[in-house]
Amino acid sequence: MVVMVRLSWEDLTYAAHVGVRRRVESLEGKFEPRNGAPKFSPTLWSQDIDGAAAELAVALYLDQPWTGERSRAHCDVGQDIQVRHTWYLAGCLIVREDDRPGRYVLVVGHDGSYDLMGWRDCFAAKQPEWEQQDGNKYWMVPSDRLRRMEELRDLVAA
């Protein structure tokens, strides 16, 4: 079952500031794009803002800390949760070969309104039927094959 999270204006403003900071840090060269992502694009501002807001939406739902920190050393939410955001309702959870172990959450939405579609453990997402290749190996897990967010909330709370 999809969980809908609507951010307050204050939360959305905070996430937007984090997203803008991330975009500027990328432009400064502090973070290099991964997996063939472009360094410059008109959509990257909104992508970074909605990505940060999606992380905050997951953190609020799971009652977990969120700092907005962006580095390979930190998870997006809590101790082991990574958030993957898309604007597309038919989007899939993408897990890449070099992704860190942990739990991955698919979030769909924009402008403060986010649907938490579900989650998968990194290793469980790497099934042969979901494997893709475009020079890099990755897995695309359809949203109807994700585990329910309520299960993740129960695991995190335990």
So what's the pLDDT on residue 78?
Answer: 85
- CA angle (96 as vertex; 94, 98 as ends), nearest 5: 155
Looking at the DSSP bridge assignments, the partners of residue 93 are 141
- Residue of 121, 123, 118 whose CA lies nearest to 146: 118
So what's the pLDDT on residue 127?
Answer: 94
Which residues of the chain register pLDDT less than 50? none
**Domain residues for 99?**
3-157
So what's the pLDDT on residue 36?
Answer: 56
So what's the pLDDT on residue 40?
Answer: 59
Classify the C-alpha dihedral 31-9-61-65 as positive or negative: positive
Number of domains within the chain: 1
So what's the pLDDT on residue 72?
Answer: 54
Classify the C-alpha dihedral 73-74-76-80 as positive or negative: positive
So what's the pLDDT on residue 73?
Answer: 55
So what's the pLDDT on residue 57?
Answer: 98
So what's the pLDDT on residue 51?
Answer: 94
Rounded Cα distance, 29 and 12, in Å: 26
So what's the pLDDT on residue 41?
Answer: 66
Q: Given the structure tokens 């990505």, which residue do they identify?
A: 51
